[in-house]
Amino acid sequence: MTEVSTISDAIDRHLSSAEMRSRLPEFRASYARYDYVEIDEFMPADIWRHALDELEELFESRSQRRDVLIPQSANTPRRYSNVDRDSLAAGSVVIPEIFRSTALYQLLESIVGEQVLPVPYLPEEFIASRLSSAGDVHGWHWDDYTWALVWIFRMPAEQDGGQLEYVSRVPWNRDDPQIERLVARGPLVRRRPRVCSAYLLKADTALHRVAPLKRDAERMIVCYSFAAETDLAREVDHSSMAALYPQSHERHYG
């Protein structure tokens, strides 16, 4: 059996295990109330370590530093290093296999109560980001597609910042985002997911950010994006992703 098939089998067994199924009522309740679910021990420890080794190598060899303002979300900042989808697809075994896992889609659909689909825009399938210096931030924004699943590899201490912050159920008005007003109105939810966990967020209607690092620390994640059927029936503007992942966008869409 090849390494890929062995890892794929381990991923599917874990995501469809009796223990994972036993937690579905908890996951569904959290999603229904908060548009957010934290899945502890998202992967077995050996799979997580394998992926971490791959990520550290890719951040060393293939990452790009970003320090830009994104007009589509009222010029909120992005200051971090990223590894794009194509580099992850070429340099990781684990990360693409999770995105292809039938068991993952079945688990997510059991949580959200509707069909979960791969995103139709390749550069957004999965990406990795790393905040590491004081002031690094992934500023306020909405996602292009319905769900984000974020797998945690490094997380700063509580006093160092880097937590997820979001306001749920506030759809994105691209012509007039009104981010400051929406954040002030709230309610503002703060989450600090644990290393090895993953969280699922309804990210198209949750205004969210990763809060700035208060000092040099490390927050490393992989983000998977998933679409609802309604996403496939509408035109999606990918300009913000093209600004953050220009090489990947250019390869696939010219």
pTM of the predicted structure, to 2 decimals: 0.96
Residue range 137-160: mean pLDDT, rounded: 97
Given pLDDT bands bounded at 50, 70 and 90, which one contains residue 2? low
8 A C-beta contact, residue 221 and residue 150: yes
Of 138, 133, 167, residue with least CA distance to 150: 138
Q: Are 235 and 174 in contact (CB under 8 A)?
A: no
CA 42/CA 39 separation, integer angstroms: 6
Question: Of 142 and 238, which is predicted with more confidence?
Answer: 142
Q: How many percent of the chain have pLDDT more than 90?
A: 87
- Pick the range with the lowest mean pLDDT from 34-38, 112-116, 175-179: 175-179
Tens of pLDDT along 85-141?
999 999 999 999 999 999 999 999 999 999 999 999 999 999 999 999 999 999 999
Mean pLDDT is lowest, of 14-18, 69-73, 129-133, 148-152, for 69-73
| Beta-bridge partner residues of 22 | none
The predicted pLDDT at position 88 comes to 98
* pLDDT at residue 5 in the model: 77
- With residue 38 as reference, give the H or E element that holds it: strand 36-39
Task: State the average pLDDT over residues 164-191.
Answer: 96
In the beta sheet, which residues pair with residue 225? 148
Torsion of CA 145, 220, 199, 99, to 10 degrees: 60
CATH 3.30.300.30, applies to 36-94+116-253: no
Confidence (pLDDT) at 112: 98
> In whole angstroms, what is the distance from residue 128 CA to residue 64 CA?
11
User: What per-residue confidence (pLDDT) applies to 27?
Assistant: 98
Using DSSP bridges, classify how beta strands 219-227 and 198-202 pair: parallel, antiparallel or unpaired: unpaired
Average pLDDT, the chain: 95
Q: Which of 161-165, 216-220, 231-235 has the lowest mean pLDDT?
A: 231-235
Report the share of the chain in percent with pLDDT over 70: 98
CA torsion, points 68, 71, 76, 81, in degrees to nearest 10?
A: -30
Mean local confidence (pLDDT), 222-245: 90
Integer Cα distance of 173 and 51 in angstroms: 36
Dihedral class, residue 230 (left if φ above 0, else alpha if ψ from -120 to 50, else beta)? alpha
Confidence label for 1 from pLDDT (cuts 50, 70 and 90): very low
pLDDT at 254 over 80: no
